[in-house]
């Protein structure tokens, strides 16, 4: 499982000022998430919960070869949850039930739960892989090549807050202090 894998743009995104899942609207503490960690997934949407407080996308992470989703010993897909701002605020960014229908392949970075359970808070933009019609003419998401994420695929769409490379470079130089007083 490639849950810790990152790619260029997404690495940069995680180093920026951390556009977060809008705690200003929060109805729970974001301390349940470990903001010092960021995981990046490419996965398949299983359901979107358009809840007022935090929209959640449930998704099955894809395997490294991008040929299927990761599955447990019982053959069932492993499902993660990523939450973000409320459904109305998310919809303003283009994240909705209709835009992320079941089967959509997308890439997301998240801060995972401290407990290790499979959920996290969204970090930065979402990247939808391009869609093409299949043999029956139905539009289907096309997974990225092995080891790649949607942001590296031509025709992918970035949704939500992105990142500023200049800001990223500046912040990369900011060392976290080891202690001090003033």
Partner 1 sequence: MRQVLKNTAIFAAATLLSAVAAGQQIADPGFKSVGRAWPLAADLRDYQITGPTIPVTFENGVLSRGTWDQFIGSAHHGAAPKGVTPLPVDLFTSKDFYKDRELWKDPRYFRCNSPAGIEEAWGANTTATIGDKPPGSAAWGYCDRDYPRAAIVSPYPFKTAEEHYKALLAETTKRGGAHQRPTAKQLEEWTGRYAHPGNTTDAQADWTGRNKSNNPQSYWYRGRHNQIPTILSLLTPEYQTRMVQEAYHAGNTNAPQWPSQYCWPEGFMRRWHEFAVWEWHIIAAPSVVQIVTGVARNFITTIHVDREFKMDGAVPRLGQDVPRWYGETVGFWDGDTLITWTSDIQGWKVHSAFEYSNKMQTIEIYTPNRDRSGKFLGLNHEAIFYDPEALVEPIRIIRNYVKTSGFEEGDPYVFIDCVQTIFPVDGRSTPVSPGTDIQYEVPDMYGRPWAHIWEKYFEEGMERPKGEDIFSFD
Q: Which is nearer to partner 1, 33 or 100 (CB)?
A: 33
The answer to whether residues 22 and 129 touch, using CB atoms and an 8 Å cutoff, is no
Provide the 8-state DSSP code for 151: G
The smaller minimum CB distance to partner 1, of residues 45 and 153, is found at: 45
Q: Closer CB to partner 1, residue 73 or residue 180?
A: 180
Cβ 174 to partner 1 shortest distance, Å: 6
| Alpha carbons within 13 A on the beta-carbon side of 57 | 34
H or E segment at 167?
Answer: helix 165-172
List of residues contacting partner 1 (CB under 8 A): 16-20, 22-33, 35-36, 47, 49, 51-54, 56, 58, 79-81, 83, 86, 88-89, 92, 113-115, 117-119, 161, 171, 174, 176-182
Choice between 135 and 166, CB closer to partner 1: 166
Q: At what angle do helices 8-15 and 165-172 cross, to 10 degrees?
A: 60
Within a 13 Å sphere around the CA of 89, how many CA atoms are in the beta-carbon half?
17
Contacts (Cβ under 8 Å, ≥6 apart) of 101? 45, 48
Best CA proximity match to 107, nearest among 82, 139, 140 = 82
Q: Which is nearer to partner 1, 28 or 132 (CB)?
A: 28
Question: Is-contact 51 87, C-beta < 8 A?
Answer: yes
């Amino acid at each position: 499982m490639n849950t810790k894998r990152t790619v260029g743009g997404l690495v940069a995104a995680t180093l920026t000022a951390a556009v977060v899942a809008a705690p200003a609207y929060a109805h729970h503490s974001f301390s349940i998430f470990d903001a010092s960690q960021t995981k990046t997934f490419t996965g398949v949407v299983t359901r979107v919960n358009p809840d007022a407080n935090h929209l959640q996308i449930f998704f099955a992470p894809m395997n490294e070869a991008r040929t299927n989703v990761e599955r447990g010993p019982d053959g069932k897909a492993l499902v993660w949850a990523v939450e973000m701002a409320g459904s109305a605020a998310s919809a303003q960014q283009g994240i909705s039930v209709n835009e992320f229908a079941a089967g959509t392949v997308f890439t997301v970075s998240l801060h995972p739960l401290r407990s290790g359970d499979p959920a996290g808070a969204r970090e930065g933009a979402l990247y939808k892989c391009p869609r093409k019609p299949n043999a029956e003419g139905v539009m289907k998401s096309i997974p990225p090549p092995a080891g790649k994420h949607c942001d590296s695929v031509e025709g992918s769409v970035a949704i939500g807050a992105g990142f500023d490379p200049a800001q990223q470079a500046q912040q990369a130089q900011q060392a976290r202090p080891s202690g001090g007083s003033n």
